[in-house]
């Protein structure tokens, strides 16, 4: 008998453990509330020119008793920025800076409202249906600056920040070895006889001369030349006659459609991602 | 004795449970307002009558507290300004992204971004008399809208591309004023008109308008996918006047991550993007796939998703071929499956998209073709499949539909009679010129890299000896062949799956074969190239671009 009481108490305590509002097993297992309208939609194109309207079709219905009153389109704005800058002159290593950032720029906003109309009923679909559009902003057009044939330092600062060029140059210098300096300086026509700055020994395995800086430190003359090289030359790709810099900024909309009934209960369609160009 | 022990045990258990109940529903975290809280929330919207979507500098933005938590609301707008109250209106004076913080006293806070845009002129083309803008014919004019609620002084400066003429037929490169009048363009392709404006003496962000200018005759259109850029188009014009430049069209549609193949059928361009990861990866959970096939209308005005993959990365769509109403697409290294051209928004899984053919369902398996044999381009010539493989079995593996086994190949299954061409070599792409009965193909074996052209008989005669390739190698006018990058860390990819020349496209009207070259030879520039049978040489078409797939719309048109 005593054992039974213990088990009973045990059960009550266990139930109370899971019954607080953090672990509400009932709320986790069943839907509580009104039946929301069902809504499905399809946007005509997943890429749209910024400022142009986005055409879509929608179908919706309700199994609840409260009639549908309106639909709304909401969207948030995300920004995708990808940047790549490379130095094509290095031989002993590949030097490239790249970054890709995806950031929410604006929270979801109501952009369009569509009042319910009984004429939208479609017998064959057993649902309401209509075609419409929602607007986009001209301000969200994409920007690209890829492998330009002429260098624009204002764009470089605007897209990469004021310190980027100096940091890139300093960081590259710390990694460069004899062969890298040689390719860069000869490629840019900065020195005629690079080997004058080097000592050399014969490599018995290859039979070729191996060049190195005296004392394994970068000679002052080499360092001074490096200081005089403009950033644009560091990223100039002589093979392609362009600059190894890429900047792409694109805005994306995460759009949803909401269908409301008279009680204000809303059903939500799937999120559509729309790229603005 | 035993019962007593049991009773003791229950007592301890009871004590433990009581303790647990005591602590189970109370967070042990501090709740100062310095911490973010899910109970704090807010919304914002523009309450001005106009430009409600634009979030211009100076717009009246209403912030509304929608928190579940109750308490005094303090706002920090991230621009040095603050405020209090459940509802507050704020104007930002400068463009940028601001982190706005709402703090509810004693409850916590929430941060949300708001992106403020500078005012800039909005330029559009007025309706034209012609259906589209035709080179050296169509006169177009522009409309400009500049939000200017404070009625500040406006200044406009236009920049037109080379070859633009005004309505008097005079060249115009710049124009100061709001309305430059009618202009016509002297070159084909995307012509960029730039408008710089000042408002009250302050320079605004410039606006660019991309005008798609068509040719004055119907010609085919080439499409190509640029690395980290957009799908581009180029009119294939052979008779343009010497002073007319034929420039590419920017279609305004992103190429995707690695669109190794693009295919044109009817009025649509199918882009096979194998996603971010296209080389080997240990995808043990089979969830690294992000490839897709998307469809762009020929004028770039519409983009739809045909198929997407979120399963294994190796299942992403890499290469494709269209026959009739079906698109065949190959994964990284196992097989080829099909999808009807009319399908949209499909999700790739093997139940819905079983292999049409796979490595071990061919008689070659174990006889040249091994597990995981790396795929490259494939297609049909005279009813025979040519399936190019670059690793774990290399060559052009040829077979007919009837050679495809329904179960795994066993020893008694014969190898297809069509045989392997270029056996042991690394062929990446090919195209068949039916009119001239020649096959063009690329290989990237070291020292033999390049583009080749021969008949099918000659292809067979090459056998396994690379030296037999020499008579068929195509070269530039300076005697150079085209050598794609196959150096790890320099070019994209790795052994067996370098990008190299990943697709060839034939213009049947001229017999020219187009391709993208990532040049590994410092003396040959990368870009869009073609072999021109009229000159007998490989020529540069567009210099300095890095290209994946290429495709041609053979249906001639002035624009698209």
Q: B226: which chain A residues are within 8 Å (Cβ-Cβ)?
A: 146
Give pLDDT, residue B386: 98
Rg (CA), chain A: 33
Tell me if A94 and B490 make a contact (CB, 8 A cut-off).
Answer: yes
Tell me if A109 and B45 make a contact (CB, 8 A cut-off).
Answer: yes
List CB contacts of A154: < 8 A, sequence separation 6 or more. Answer: none
Tell me if A105 and B13 make a contact (CB, 8 A cut-off).
Answer: no
Cβ-contact A100, A69 below 8 angstroms: no
Give pLDDT, residue A116: 96
User: What are the pLDDT digits (tens) for A118-149?
Assistant: 999 999 999 999 999 999 999 999 998 988 98
Q: Using CB atoms, which residue from A44, A77, A239 is nearest to B302?
A: A44
Q: B114: which chain A residues are within 8 Å (Cβ-Cβ)?
A: 105-107
User: What are the pLDDT digits (tens) for B151-201?
Assistant: 899 999 999 999 999 999 999 999 999 999 999 999 999 999 999 999 999
* Section B323-346 average pLDDT: 97
Q: Using CB atoms, which residue from B14, B53, B113 is nearest to A111?
A: B53
Given pLDDT bands bounded at 50, 70 and 90, which one contains residue A30? low
Q: Using CB atoms, which residue from A6, A10, A94 is nearest to B489?
A: A94
Q: A46: which chain B residues are within 8 Å (Cβ-Cβ)?
A: 294, 303-305
Kindly provide the residue ranges of all beta strands, DSSP E only, lying in B82-237, ordered along the sequence: 82-84, 87-90, 96-104, 108-116, 122-125, 133-134, 142-145, 154-159, 165-166, 174-176, 183-184, 189-199, 202-203, 207-214, 219-226, 230-235
Tell me if A239 and B525 make a contact (CB, 8 A cut-off).
Answer: yes
Given pLDDT bands bounded at 50, 70 and 90, which one contains residue A52? very high
pLDDT at position B7 over 80: no
Cβ-contact B524, A221 below 8 angstroms: no
Residue predicted with more confidence, B26 or B54: B54
Tell me if A49 and B120 make a contact (CB, 8 A cut-off).
Answer: no
Average pLDDT, chain A: 89
What's the gap in Å between the CA of B532 and the closest CA on chain A? Answer: 22
Segment among A72-81, A154-163, B521-530 with least mean pLDDT: B521-530
Give pLDDT, residue B496: 86
Given pLDDT bands bounded at 50, 70 and 90, which one contains residue B13? confident
Tell me if A47 and B543 make a contact (CB, 8 A cut-off).
Answer: no
- Rounded CA gap, A121 and A63, in Å? 14
DSSP for A194-256, please give it.
Answer: GGGG-EEEE-TTTSSEEEE-GGGS--HHHHHHHHHS-HHHHTEETTTTEE-EEEEEEEEEEEE
Strand partners, B297: B268
- Counted across chains A and B, CB pairs separated by less than 8 A come out at 118
pLDDT at position A15 over 70: no
Q: B24: which chain A residues are within 8 Å (Cβ-Cβ)?
A: 17, 20
ipTM of this complex prediction, to 2 decimal places: 0.81
Given pLDDT bands bounded at 50, 70 and 90, which one contains residue A5? confident
Tell me if A49 and B55 make a contact (CB, 8 A cut-off).
Answer: no
User: What are the pLDDT digits (tens) for A188-222?
Assistant: 999 888 888 888 888 888 888 888 888 878 999 99
Residues in chain A: 277
Strand partners, B30: none
Per-residue b/e over B183-203, b at no fewer than 16 CB within 10 Å? bbbbbbbbbebebbbebeeee
- Rounded CA gap, B66 and A146, in Å? 43
Q: Using CB atoms, which residue from A10, A20, A146 is nearest to B25?
A: A20
What's the gap in Å between the CA of B319 and the closest CA on chain A? Answer: 23
* Residue A150, SS3 per DSSP: coil
Given pLDDT bands bounded at 50, 70 and 90, which one contains residue A9? confident
pLDDT at position B28 over 60: no
pLDDT > 90: what percent of chain B?
A: 83
């Amino acid at each position: 008998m005593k054992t039974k009481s213990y088990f009973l108490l045990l059960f009550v305590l266990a139930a109370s453990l899971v019954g607080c509002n953090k672990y509400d097993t009932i709320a986790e297992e069943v839907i509580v509330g009104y039946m929301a309208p069902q809504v499905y939609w399809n946007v005509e194109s997943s890429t749209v020119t910024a400022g142009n309207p986005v055409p879509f079709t929608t179908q919706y219905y309700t199994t609840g008793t409260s009639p549908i009153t309106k639909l709304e389109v909401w969207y948030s704005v995300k920004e995708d920025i990808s940047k790549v800058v490379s130095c094509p002159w290095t031989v002993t290593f590949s030097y490239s800076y790249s970054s890709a950032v995806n950031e929410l720029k604006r929270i979801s906003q109501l952009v369009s409202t569509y009042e319910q109309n009984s004429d939208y009923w479609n017998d064959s679909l057993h649902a309401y249906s209509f075609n419409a559009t929602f607007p986009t902003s001209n301000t969200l057009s994409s920007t690209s600056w890829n492998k330009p044939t002429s260098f624009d330092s204002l764009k470089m600062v605007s897209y990469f920040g004021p310190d980027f060029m100096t940091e890139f140059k300093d960081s590259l210098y710390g990694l460069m070895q004899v062969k890298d300096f040689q390719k860069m300086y000869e490629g840019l026509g900065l020195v005629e006889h690079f080997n004058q700055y080097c000592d050399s020994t014969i490599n018995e395995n290859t039979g070729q001369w191996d060049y190195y800086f005296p004392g394994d430190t970068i000679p002052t003359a080499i360092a001074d030349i490096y200081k005089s090289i403009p950033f644009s030359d560091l990223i100039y790709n002589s093979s392609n006659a362009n600059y190894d810099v890429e900047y792409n900024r694109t805005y994306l909309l995460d759009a949803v459609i909401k269908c409301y009934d008279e009680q204000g209960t809303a059903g939500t369609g799937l999120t559509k991602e729309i790229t603005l160009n | 004795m035993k019962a007593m022990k049991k009773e003791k045990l229950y007592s301890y258990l009871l004590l433990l449970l009581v303790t647990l109940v005591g602590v189970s529903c109370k967070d042990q975290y501090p709740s100062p307002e310095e911490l973010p809280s899910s109970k704090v929330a807010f919304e914002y919207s523009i309450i001005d009558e106009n430009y409600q979507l634009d979030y211009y500098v100076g717009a009246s933005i209403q912030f509304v507290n929608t928190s579940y938590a109750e308490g005094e609301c303090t706002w920090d707008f991230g621009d040095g300004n603050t405020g209090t109250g459940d509802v507050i209106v704020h104007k930002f004076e400068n463009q940028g992204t601001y982190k706005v913080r709402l703090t509810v006293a004693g409850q916590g806070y929430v941060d949300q971004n708001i992106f403020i845009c500078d005012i800039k002129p909005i330029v559009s083309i007025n309706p034209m008399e012609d259906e589209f803008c035709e080179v050296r014919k169509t006169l177009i004019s522009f409309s400009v809208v500049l939000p200017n609620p404070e009625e500040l002084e406006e200044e406009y400066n236009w920049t037109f591309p080379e070859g633009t003429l005004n309505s008097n037929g005079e060249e115009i490169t710049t124009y100061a004023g709001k309305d430059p009048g009618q202009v016509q363009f002297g070159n084909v392709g995307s012509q960029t008109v730039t408008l710089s404006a000042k408002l009250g003496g302050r320079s605004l962000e410039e606006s660019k308008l991309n005008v798609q200018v068509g040719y004055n005759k119907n010609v085919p259109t080439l499409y190509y996918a640029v690395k980290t850029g957009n799908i581009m188009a180029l009119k294939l014009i052979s008779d343009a006047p010497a002073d007319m430049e034929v420039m590419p069209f920017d279609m305004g549609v992103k190429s995707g991550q690695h669109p190794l193949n693009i295919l044109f059928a009817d009025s649509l361009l199918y882009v096979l993007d194998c996603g971010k990861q296209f080389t080997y990866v240990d995808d043990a959970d089979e969830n690294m796939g992000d490839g897709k096939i998307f469809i762009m209308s020929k004028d770039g005005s519409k983009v739809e998703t045909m198929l997407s993959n979120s399963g294994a990365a190796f299942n992403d769509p890499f290469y494709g071929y269209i026959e009739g109403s079906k698109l065949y697409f190959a994964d990284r290294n196992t097989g080829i499956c099909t999808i009807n051209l009319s399908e949209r928004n499909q999700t790739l899984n093997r139940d819905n998209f079983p292999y049409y053919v796979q490595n071990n369902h061919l008689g070659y398996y174990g006889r040249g073709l091994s597990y995981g044999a790396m795929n490259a381009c494939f297609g049909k010539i005279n009813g025979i499949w040519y399936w190019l493989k670059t690793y774990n079995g290399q060559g052009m593996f040829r077979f007919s539909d009837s050679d495809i086994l329904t179960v795994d190949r066993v020893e008694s299954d014969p190898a297809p009679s069509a045989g392997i061409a270029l056996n042991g070599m690394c062929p990446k792409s090919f195209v068949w010129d039916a009119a001239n009965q020649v096959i063009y193909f690329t290989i990237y074996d070291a020292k033999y890299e390049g583009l080749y052209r021969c008949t099918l008989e000659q292809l067979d005669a090459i056998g396994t000896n690379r030296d037999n390739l020499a008579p068929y190698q195509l070269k530039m006018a300076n005697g150079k062949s085209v050598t794609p990058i196959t150096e790890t860390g320099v070019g994209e990819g790795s052994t067996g799956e370098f990008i190299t020349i990943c697709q060839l496209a034939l213009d049947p009207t001229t017999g020219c074969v187009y391709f993208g070259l990532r040049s590994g030879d410092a003396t040959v520039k990368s870009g869009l190239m073609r072999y021109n049978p009229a000159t007998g040489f490989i020529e540069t078409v567009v210099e300095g671009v890095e290209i994946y797939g290429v495709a041609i719309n053979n249906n001639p048109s002035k624009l698209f």
